[in-house]
Structure 1
Amino acid sequence: MLQHHQTPAPTLLHSQPQTRLDLANAWMRAFNNWNLPLMLSYMTEGQDFNYSYLPASIGMASKSRRDFTSYGTFMKNIIPDLQVEILNVHDSSSATGPVVAHVIGRATSTRTGAPFYQEYMMLIYIRPERNGALKIHKVDEFVDSRFVHEYFTAEKKYGRRALAATTPACAKL
């Protein structure tokens, strides 16, 4: 049986969430303006952390915790004003099953000025760590593959043009 959960208003103080739904909501709110230290505090430090982007046809490799941190830093430079709207969150009511979230991300590219608007579905896997704290250990993010292709193709083209303009050896890129 799926449970529906309304997103509570963010709090100013950071405390470790006590339920799977609270943790999933807190972690997704940390995406606002890319609050990486807060995001990382909700994620396992175990070597098995895995963040996957789906469908596989978009060609994005899964990310370890370290890779996710690097990618988040990169994305914070491109869309620092990211705001996440949590449409709904459901708990699968299984200790090993995912929390399922439907979210929208909005931002503006600092490089191209292009609007970033993407709808996502996330499967967020949570487990208790040795100290008893709940932590996220796996995420499967289903993206709008058409948007991802168009948006990041434009970002790459802009990056190549900017590099070519400042570096003569790169003019043929």
Structure 2
Amino acid sequence: MDIGLSFYEVIVGFLFGILGLCAGSFSTAIIYRENKNLPWFQLKGEHARSICPSCNTELNFQDLFPVFSWISTQGKCRYCRKKIPLFYPLLELICAVSSILLYLWSGLSVISVTALCCLPFLVSLVYLGLFKQRFSLRLVAIVVAIGTFAFILQLIFN
């Protein structure tokens, strides 16, 4: 069965999927931190890295990708063994699939790269709005800034 994709397209689609996983992981971190009024980025000190929501243990690198860590630990925290909500790997998978579909729909373009950059912020906005009845002007400002930058790039290169 030939699906009509070249080796290059398969590789780029795979990379979009990996970037989608990363976007989903970042999105879960944004949602958690926005919900707790914590800073998104902090280089040192408390809340510098993601933590287990149950035991507050700082996560190691291998724990930062919910799909893989959820599978390898059978859905439990590596440290306290409490169940990790299915929300984390599910959101990451949704972002990965969305990224692959985005690439298949528009190819490697300014539009697809812009949408991929906006993905974690848009997903966070939707989740916070629907499930937490919260609105983050900071998230909107980031999406607007990325969109404006992409619009300028589109004007320059078209």
| Fold-level similarity (TM above 0.5) | no
Relative to the length of structure 1, the TM-score reads 0.24
| Higher RCO (CA < 8 A, seq sep 6+) | 2
